[in-house]
Chains A and B, each alone.
Chain A
Amino acid sequence: MTKLPYLPETPSQTAGPYVHIGLTPNALGNAGIYPQDLGAAPIRDGAKGERITIRGTVTDGAGMILRDALIETWQADAQGIYPAPNDPRGRADPNVTGWARIIADFDSGVWTLETIKPGTVPHPSGDTMAPHLSAWVVARGINIGLQTRIYFEDEVAANEKCPILARIEHKDRVSTLLAKKTGKGEYWFEVKLQGEDETIFFDL
């Protein structure tokens, strides 16, 4: 077999238990290197759209809540445009940066994300993806970052038409991707790494 001359991607290794030193030193208490941690907020004052707070946990296969998980999220603005130069549709809301880096609380393991609800985003097929945040989860024991999505349980019609959700054969698992509404503008999203109600992880 002829091997094409593509270079293989640098292989992943676990973020390990000390990821905060590099990625959130101020939250760890190692202030002094950077004025503030990157990704502290995905929006600025004046961002258009519905303000929401998503909280959640990351749980392992033994039912233990991780205290060392780090999650990054990436989302579109309220119109569904990504705040990135490589979104071909033009400029997003200047008050939406779209990217956040959040960590599990060192005592409770609960993480909190304050943002706006993103709009729908076109899929290459021509269909429309329901409002969602892309989430990437790393921690000790995770050998390659886990990719999932946070959808919203109250976006029933959009979720039904979403081509990514439609791809999931085991329909009863779709609910693992839906943030549960717990109050006005408040959601709860649990990442279960393994087991009975394991979260869906993607290879996109």
Chain B
Amino acid sequence: MADAAAQAPTRGPLVARDRLWHPPAYAPGYKTSVTRAPSRALIAAPSTLSEETGPVFGRDMLGEMDNNLILNFTGQPAIGERIIMHGRVQDDQGRPVPGVLLEIWQANAGGRYRHKKDGYAAPLDPNFGGGGRTVTDDGGRYEFLTIRPGAYPWPNGPNDWRPMHIHVSVFGSGFGQRLITQMYFEGDPLIARCPIVNTIKDRSAIEQLVAPLDMAAAIPMDCLAYRFDITLRGRRQTFFENRPEGL
């Protein structure tokens, strides 16, 4: 693996996505995908400038509380089990990716979203908005302070429940790296039963979304921590990039 001190390249062709690692568009266990999955094959071609470039977000656009979901809605603390969600954004060779905008959203401690479409019986927490954002630092690191989201039922099968999860939106340095995913929590028995989790066919791909409890990052008498590292779609090494270290 390349020296972690080297940062991921920000230009150059993108490596093709492994479509067998990602969930397929059509996954009948997740019923909504049945009418929303394209039935024709994707048109594949090497990336162009349109996918290799992308918007850039600086840390200067962030508000002080943007990554603190416990306080960022009203300034009064949200109810729930306090947790740190943290990790590193890296490329396919393990090199850190700085300047990555991460946006997250989640249900409150009772499993209810602050959204007009969510009518679940669990109450809204007046002090929990459910959204946060940050930009990775020079080492590709990020951190959120939040509460553990509750599991919630959803209309799919007769008795389907979403495991505890946090939705995560990720920008790379190219628009072709754009990704949305979900983080799950180690040990949650609902993960294995979830039709959305199981749209992913490969068990080790699912494990990539399960954040382990991280007692080294937990703060005694304050909060637990979970670690969620994110790997972006890679860029191909170009001849010119290789030469300084390779020759």
Over the window 48-83 of chain B, the binary record of Cβ atoms lying under 8 Å from chain A Cβ atoms (1 yes, 0 no) is 111111111100000100100000111000000000
Over the window 56-97 of chain A, the binary record of Cβ atoms lying under 8 Å from chain B Cβ atoms (1 yes, 0 no) is 000011101010100010101000001111111000000001
In the complex, the answer to whether B23 meets A13 with C-beta atoms within 8 Å is yes
Most chain B C-beta atoms within 10 Å of own C-beta, residue among A21, A38, A68: A21
Most chain B C-beta atoms within 10 Å of own C-beta, residue among A20, A34, A143: A143
In the complex, the answer to whether A85 meets B10 with C-beta atoms within 8 Å is yes
Give the distance in Å from the alpha carbon of A204 to the alpha carbon of B16 in the complex: 7
Over the window 211-247 of chain B, the binary record of Cβ atoms lying under 8 Å from chain A Cβ atoms (1 yes, 0 no) is 0000000000000000000111110000000000000
Which residues of A are found within 8 Å of B54, using beta-carbon distances?
74, 84, 86, 99
Q: How far is the CB of B234 from chain A (nearest CB, A)?
A: 7
Which residues of B are found within 8 Å of A30, using beta-carbon distances?
114-115, 129-131
**Number of A-B contacts defined by CB within 8 Å:** 271
* Given the contacts A33-B73, A85-B56, A10 and B179 also touching, CB distance less than 8 Å: yes
In the complex, the answer to whether B182 meets A193 with C-beta atoms within 8 Å is no
Q: Pick the contact of A25: B50, B92, B131 (CB < 8 A).
A: B131
In the complex, the answer to whether B231 meets A13 with C-beta atoms within 8 Å is no
Q: Which residues in window 1-19 of A have CB below 8 A to B?
A: 5-19
Q: How far is the CB of A35 from chain B (nearest CB, A)?
A: 8
A41 CB–B CB distance under 8 Å: no
B164 CB–A CB distance under 8 Å: no
Interface size class of B (residues with CB under 8 A): 35 or more
In the complex, the answer to whether B45 meets A202 with C-beta atoms within 8 Å is yes
Give the distance in Å from the alpha carbon of A87 to the alpha carbon of B12 in the complex: 10
In the complex, the answer to whether B169 meets A164 with C-beta atoms within 8 Å is no
* Given the contacts A9-B92, A84-B56, A143-B33, A193 and B180 also touching, CB distance less than 8 Å: no
Q: A86-B10, A123-B48, A204-B46 are in contact. List 10 more A-B contacts (CB 8 A).
A: A5-B1, A9-B18, A11-B21, A13-B196, A30-B115, A84-B53, A86-B11, A97-B55, A202-B42, A204-B44
25 A-B pairs whose Cβ atoms sit less than 8 Å apart in the complex: A7-B94, A8-B21, A11-B206, A13-B180, A13-B199, A14-B199, A18-B105, A23-B169, A29-B116, A32-B74, A33-B129, A34-B66, A38-B103, A74-B175, A76-B50, A84-B56, A143-B24, A145-B179, A145-B180, A194-B39, A198-B40, A201-B42, A203-B16, A204-B47, A204-B51
